[in-house]
Amino acid sequence: MRTHAATAGLANVSAHDLRHTAASMAIDAGEPLHRLRDRLGHSSVLVTSRYLHT
């Protein structure tokens, strides 16, 4: 992943960064937390709620 990111000029981007961004964007787009929880494989909505930004 890091090699591909560096090739694209994104040297400081990790797979986790992409996952976090996608989850945050899904919440911003109105995806319900319980559905996002299932997609991310979290055991609890509380874990998923860390992607909520105030």
Mean pLDDT of 4-22: 85
Poorest-pLDDT segment among 12-16, 22-26, 35-39, 43-47: 12-16
Q: How far apart are CA 7 and CA 5, in angstroms?
A: 5
pLDDT of residue 54: 52
pLDDT over 90 (residue 25): yes
pTM over 0.85: no
pLDDT band at 43 (very low <50, low <70, confident <90, very high): very high
Average pLDDT of the chain is 88
14: phi > 0 → left, psi -120 to 50 → alpha, else beta; which? beta
Tell whether the model's pLDDT for residue 14 goes beyond 90: no
